[in-house]
Each structure stands twice: as structure tokens, then as C-alpha cells.
Structure 1
Amino acid sequence: MPRARACALMARAAVALAPAAILLTPGPGESAAIERSVPSTSRILFEPGRYGEIGATWVDPRQNGSGADLTVLGAPAVIAGRTGDMFDPEWTLNGALKTDLGRRLSFALIVDQPYGARTTYPGGASPVAALYAGTLARLDTWEATGVLAWDVATGVKVYAGLRAQWLEARSEIPFIAGYSVEGAGDWGVGYLAGVAYERPEIAFRAALTYYSPIRHRLETAETAALGSETSTTEISTPQSVALEVQSGVAPRTLAFGSVRWVEWSDFDISPPLYGAIVGEPLVDYSGDWWTWTAGVAHQLTDTLAGSLSVTYEPSIGGALTTLGPHDGRTTATAALSYDFGAVNLTGGVTYGRLGDTANALETQFDDGSVLGLGMRLGMRF
């Protein structure tokens, strides 16, 4: 195969495959804290010409806990048994449009669901299952991002944009004085900024992106056996920094990876009535998360390519929230990408293990796993 054609195919594989492991890696309840999806804004901006895509991901995380120490609730007892699987399967959607506004200027609009929670303790015959029965958490977000990118020099792109994010949440924890809380949906605004460098002839690209925190003020209604309260709860989704790198390493073969930092230590959900009852936030994390991804993509034919990748998120230690109990994860993703004319179809599967942890009642959550399936349809027009 001529070298020029091999480089072109390698670059095409980079566009089609490098984001697949990120796009298809599951989010809610198994990525860091309450993350549903990991953004890759720079990928959209490097699509040539006018481009649009839609995608969907199905995630089925599983986690089970055992035992509980009730002394922190004022009951001098340690109970046994399993909680049962408390995570619900979930669908998430995303889409994007990108167009060139001139020779050096381009624009992208991205819609996704960056954060979420779907936790339901099923109850059961064991003392621990009965204790947690009815405990649930629901958190939903939608985010629309508009980004302008400018090619400041050959191979160098800078970009920035605004992010409008909608968030709502509710929770029920019957074993804490019959507590429940509901936060009405609220819009918040943030921004992103980044810089990227590429050499298309060897399919090399490096992109560094910063995502600001986004502040929300939720009108909150809390109820418990001690009474009820209406107030405003402030929630700020965290800032993050992502570095994404890819490069051709052989004809038709691409290596890619990323490292991402998210400031979860600065995130909490603290409704006032819950704080008065328990003396601590409803949701709180003791440290920041680092997520590492590495993979390889190979052009199998002129129209078909495949990729394999591994994502690792180390444990941060400490007791984590009952509403989303896991600490770290290791997952593997396999994806295939097929081109037919101006249309590209990418699909993949992710499977991995969730890190063990314990909550404030010393319930031990272990042997968690996650299965994810995803599909993305892209078109140049």
C-alpha cells in the first residue's frame, strides 16, 4: 500500500476510533462519583467539513453490600446479610453538530448527559436488606455546549465555549428518620477552553481541555419524621482537566490514551434538614479522581476498523456515599467502526470491575461490576 494512502487510512481511523473507548465507557454509578459520560470536545472539532452524530449508551452496573453497624444511628447492634444489587440499568443519549465558518474558524454544538444517578435498594428478607429497603437516589442532567475553534497556525487549534447545564435530583433514605428530599430542576452556566496540536500525516493529535465548575441553586423540599423544610441547596458540578493524545504507530495502526483530573473533593450536596439530622452532607467525596485510558486501533479493511482500550481509575480511599457506593474502577472496551459512504457507524461493549468501598454504616460494598453497550451514528454532509 502506498505510504500516502496508509497515512490517510491511519488518520481516518484516528477520527473514527480514538474516541470510541471514551464515548462507550459507561458513566452513571461506575465512573468517578456521579459521572455518566466523559467529554471529548476536541474530537468533534477535528471532524472535517460539516458533520453530525447521534449516540446512545446502555449501562448495567451491579453492586452489593454486606453488614451494617447501627451504633452511629443510636442502636447498639451490628446486623448481617446482603443489601442486594442497588444500581438500575440506564440509557443515556448524546449528539453533536459541527460546521466550518471559514477557512480557519469552526463551530460545534454538543448535547449530552454528563452526570446522573440511578440507585434503588431492593429490600429483602435479610436484616441489612430490610434496613436499606426503599433507599434511592435520582439525579439527572442535560448539557448543551457551544464551541468556537480557531486554527491559529498549521496544526494548532485553540477553542473555547459556553456550557448550559440543567440538573435535578431527589433522594429517599427511610432508615434516617424517614428522610426524603427533592430538588427542582435548575439551569447553570459554565465554560470550557482548550488547545490542540495535530500532524495528520502520522495521525498525531494532542488536546488539552479545561472544563469549569457549574453552579446550581435548587429549590429544595425536605421531609422527615422531625418535620419538613423548604430551602435552596447549592450544588456545583466540578471542574476538570483532560489531556487526550493519539498517534500512528504502524501502518493502519493507532495508539491513543487520555488522563483526566476531576475535582470531586470540592463537590457536595448538603440540604439543611439532612445536615441537622445527620451532621454531614447527603453526598460528599473525600478526594479528587484521576482517570487513565490507553488503547490501540487498527484499520482492518478500507471501511472497517476496530479498537481495544483499558480505563483505570484508582481508589481514593475513605467511606463513600450510600447512594453510589464504589471506589475506583478498571474496565475494558472493544469497539468496531464501519464506513459506508459519508456515514460512519461505531459500536462497542465495555465490561469491568468496580472498586470496593464502605459507607458510614460500615456496610462493605464489594465485587461490583459494570456492563455497557453503545452505538454512535455519524454523517458528513
Structure 2
Amino acid sequence: MKLKTLATAMILASVPMTGAFAAAMDRSGQSMSAFLQPGNYFEAGISVLDPTVSGKEAGETATRRNIEDMADDYYFPSAALKLQLTDKFSFGLLYDQPFGAAAEYKGNNAFVSQASDTVLPQPLLDSMVRNEVTQTLNQLTSTQIVGLAAQGLLAQQGMSPTNPAYNATLQATVTGIITQAGGNVDTAAAAVRPQVEAGAFTQGQQQLQQRLDNAGVALGQGNTKVSVDTQNLAFVFGFQPTPNWNIYAGPVYQTVKGSVSLRGQGYSIFNGYDSNIKETGDLGWLAGVAYQIPEIALKASLTYRSEIDHETTIRETIPTAGALTLLGQNPADVVGAKGTSTITTPQSVNLDFQSGIMADTVAFANVRWVEWSNFAIRPYQFGLMSEAVGQLPAVNRPNGFNLVEYSEDQISATVGVGRKLSEQWAGNVSVGWDSGAGNPVSTLGPTEGYWNVGLGLQFSPAPNYFIAGGVKYFMLGDAKSQTAAQFGEDSRIVGEFEDNDAWAYGLKIGYRF
């Protein structure tokens, strides 16, 4: 079962992509395998993902239209340089793009702007008018209600209050209504109240629209879309007290940038919201330990990566902020507010293991944990707006809500077998699983984990370099989607996404010197 170190490295190097379509925004899998290669080593790779994520409207969405593919294709590169400075000290530079998102809704659905969109869902607007009408009528006397009914009858007859006979005719109409009710004004008021409410409701709708027009409320145009990109550069210092052990740690510099546009009736008062995160960078760290027995191709490593805080000013646009006047709020308190937001990328742990199981054959496994349950993005003005909207009984989130967050941590695992086929060729097969980060999920990424199968192949023209390629097929988990205002209430959803999949392709070159 003895394997040469080079042969083992060749077999495992044929898996150029690890995560590709993991839970939440996890992408690269943040592998440390390049740093744990023997001697001096360089590699560069690229992974490409082609997902298909479609579904249909559901839950609180008034319609039940289909949602066509909303997941964009994307790619992410990686590179690594590892130097064995002495027998006991090594240094490495690792570059990858660990987290990201790319999606855009298209077609005719609740996440694309339509001419029929309203600043709030029509049922909610209607309930606001009805509540206001009911409260007003409850404060009136029976005589006043009958008077309103009489005014409505005269309006239907085309009689204007400027008509000299108007007042006399009005009084006669009031008297007639009461007489028809047996001379009891309370009975008359109860009889005519439905008509009075209907007229007041129609008038209230018109007044509400006028208030919105006066407030300068403008709904969004176009499609809901999201783009998030991160880059990591790790500086890793390793200490090998014996040939079997490797203790390593180092700082990690990370940048993050992104943009989000919310469009369509599904986002209610946030229809038209835009945010742009200018690229910002900050520092974190990693630490780990590895153990190996080269004679039997055994290698195990455990790596921890810290969370990284990014303090940033997010540029925001809220064209619907004028609607806050309906809630008794001053829009200037939101759109004129200045403040910073903190985006914290999650901490993670990777466990990697491999061992020879027969001549020229190894089994390998990877387990990854990412703390997505502690991740949230709340742009400053979005947060203020959400606190105001949260006062509505239909929303009931007085402390506001986040633009993006997840309810559970991610756990993923990959197992496989690699085999050296000849002096120049090696290959592997693998199976992967990902738990997802909770369900329901955000409308900006509506999938819940996956199962995948992968194939890899590697060609080594010479012992010191190789070219590897691989393909993975992902069976994406079914998910229910919800908006930010619905997060935390599993029964409240706006979409369902089922039977989706993705293909991932990877290419990598490696060189030993």
C-alpha cells in the first residue's frame, strides 16, 4: 500500500473545485491543500459554475406565476505559492474568492417591476384606508352618519353644495332617511352605514393616492439582482518540528464589494431600493495543524479561519421613502441619515483527511463548517426604513430587519477515491453533500444545500508539473424563499424553488520547483 508522495499529490490535485455551489454565499471552500504540498510548489486554477434555479410564486404573493432561471453563471480563480524555506520552516501565499453571489430575476413575476405595482401590497393599502374610515365613523354621532348618507345621495343626483336649494334639500333627505327607519336615528344610521363606509373608502383611496403623489414616491424599474464578490490573500507561516507535523498560521487580507437592487411587488415598500458596497478590505487570520505519514499516503489537517469585520459606508437609494408619511414618519429622517454598516464574513473550520487504501489508490474526505447563522447585512438607511415599516401590524417587526441573514450554520462534506492510472495519468470520483443555511431562504439565493457527484482527471507530462480538470453535477435542494421582512417566520414565504441543478467545471495547473 506504499505510495510515493508525488503520486499521492497528483491524484488529489485533480479536484480543482471544492465548494462551487455551497450554502449561503460560500464558494471556494478555502482549501489549504496547496500549502501542505511537499517542497516548493505553485498552482493556479479556475472554476466555472452554470446553475439553473427556477420556481414559482407562492405564499403571500397574490399571483402564482412561474419564475424563470434567476441564477447567473459565474467563475472564480485561485492561486497558491508555497516555499519550503528550511527543513522546519515554510511560507505560503494563498489567493481565492471565498464568498460571493450572482443572481437576477427576469420575466413576469413579483421580483420584476410591473406597471401594476403599488408602493405597498394593495390589500395592505386597502386595509389602511378601511381602518382609517372605521376609526373616523366610530367617532361620529348617528345624526352625522345619516347626514353623510344624505350628502352621498345628493351627490349621486348631481346636486352641488353651491345650489341655493342644497341645504333645504339636504335636511329634507335626512328627515326622509330617519322616517324610513321608523323615526329612530340610531336605526337609520345603522342602515345607511355600509353605504357611507363604501363611499368613504373610495374617497380614502383617492386621497391616499394623492398623498403618495405629493410625497414623490417612485417605484423601481427593472429586475431584482444581486452581486457580491470577495477576495482573500492569506500569508501562511508553517513550522515543522518533525517530518510528520506541520503547525501553521498567518494573517488574511480580505476585500468585499457588492450591490443589491430590489424590484417588484414582492418587496413592497422597498421596490426600487438600491445599495452599493464600495470595495473595502480588512484583516483576519487563520491557524491550523497537519499530520502526515508519507509512507502510507496518510495526511490529515484541521484549519480554522476567523471572521472578518468590514466597516463600510453603503451608498443607498430609497425612492419610496416618501411613503413613510403614511406611517407618520418623516422621510428625511431616513434618506438624510448618515451612518456606517458592519459586514462580518463568517468564521469557518475545515477538516481534511486522506489515506492510502491499496497500491496507487487513496481515499479522501473533507468536512467544512461555516457559521452563517451569525451573518447579517443591514445597510444603515435600510435599517431605519425597516424599523419604520416594522411598526405596521402586518409586518410586526418594530426593531426592523436585515437585508440578508441566515438561520443555520453550513456543514458540507466530500468523500472520494483517487487512483494513479499510469505514470502520467490519475483520476478520481467523489460525492458531496451540503446542509444549506436554513429554509426558508432569502429571495436573493433560493436554494437549500445540495448533493453532488464529481469526476477529475490529471495529466502529468513530467514529474514536476501537471494539468488537471474536473466536472461536478449538483442536485440543488428544494427551497422556499422569503423577503427580509418575513425572515424568522417559516410560514411566510413568497416563492418556491424545486428540482434545480448546476454544473461546475474546473481547471488547474501545478508546478514543483
TM-score > 0.5 by shorter chain: yes
Equivalent position to 2:366, from 211, 234, 258: 258
Aligned ranges 1:94-113 → 2 under 5 Å: 94-113=78-97
Distance 1:26 1:156 in 2: 27
Question: What secondary structure sits across from 1:53 in the alignment?
Answer: strand
Distance 2:3 2:76 in 1: 34
Which residue number corresponds to residue 461 of structure 2? 340
Equivalent position to 2:340, from 223, 229, 232: 232
- The answer to whether the 8 A contact 1:18-1:246 is kept is no
Aligned ranges 1:144-223 → 2 under 5 Å: 144-175=233-264, 176-223=270-317
Give the length in aligned residue pairs.
364
Equivalent position to 2:409, from 288, 299, 305: 288
Letter of the structure 2 residue corresponding to residue 135 of structure 1: T
Q: 1:290 to 1:19 in 2, by over 3 A?
A: farther
- The answer to whether the 8 A contact 1:221-1:230 is kept is no
Letter of the structure 1 residue corresponding to residue 35 of structure 2: L
Distance 1:282 1:369 in 2: 26
Which residue number corresponds to residue 506 of structure 2? 374
Q: For each residue in 1:173-196, what CA deviation from the matched residue of structure 2 results, as whole angstroms up to 9, or x when unmatched?
A: 023231111111110111100011
Which residue number corresponds to residue 31 of structure 1? 22
Letter of the structure 1 residue corresponding to residue 58 of structure 2: A
Letter of the structure 2 residue corresponding to residue 156 of structure 1: W
Cα displacement (A) at 1:87: 0.9
Q: For each residue in 1:51-92, what CA deviation from the matched residue of structure 2 results, as whole angstroms up to 9, or x when unmatched?
A: 11111111111111211344xxxxxx6211112111111121
- The answer to whether the 8 A contact 1:7-1:203 is kept is yes
Which residue number corresponds to residue 74 of structure 1? none
Aligned ranges 1:119-158 → 2 under 5 Å: 119-124=103-108, 134-158=223-247
2:90 matched to 1:90?
A: no
Letter of the structure 2 residue corresponding to residue 314 of structure 1: S
Which residue number corresponds to residue 44 of structure 2? 54
Distance 1:378 1:304 in 2: 14
Structure 1: segments with no counterpart, 5+ residues: 71-76
- The answer to whether the 8 A contact 1:222-1:230 is kept is no
Which residue number corresponds to residue 3 of structure 2? 7
Distance 1:363 1:230 in 2: 34
Which of the pair is proportionally richer in helix?
Answer: 2
- The answer to whether the 8 A contact 2:111-2:263 is kept is no
Q: Give aligned-pair identity as a percent.
A: 34
Question: What secondary structure sits across from 1:327 in the alignment?
Answer: coil
Q: 1:188 to 1:127 in 2, by over 3 A?
A: closer
Question: What secondary structure sits across from 2:408 in the alignment?
Answer: coil
Cα displacement (A) at 1:99: 0.8
- The answer to whether the 8 A contact 1:26-1:372 is kept is no
Which of the pair is proportionally richer in strand?
Answer: 1
- Give TM-score scaled by structure 1 length: 0.91
Structure 2: segments with no counterpart, 5+ residues: 115-220, 265-269, 322-330, 387-399, 483-492
Cα displacement (A) at 1:312: 0.3
RMSD: 1.9
Distance 1:40 1:318 in 2: 27
Cα displacement (A) at 1:156: 0.8
Which residue number corresponds to residue 420 of structure 2? 299
Q: 1:316 to 1:146 in 2, by over 3 A?
A: closer
Question: What secondary structure sits across from 1:7 in the alignment?
Answer: coil
Which residue number corresponds to residue 431 of structure 2? 310
- The answer to whether the 8 A contact 1:82-1:129 is kept is no
- The answer to whether the 8 A contact 2:113-2:263 is kept is no
Letter of the structure 2 residue corresponding to residue 66 of structure 1: K
Which one has the largest radius of gyration? 2
Cα displacement (A) at 1:308: 0.5
Which residue number corresponds to residue 354 of structure 2? 246
Q: 1:38 to 1:221 in 2, by over 3 A?
A: same
Cα displacement (A) at 1:26: 4.7
Which residue number corresponds to residue 190 of structure 2? none
Cα displacement (A) at 1:213: 0.4
Distance 1:47 1:37 in 2: 19
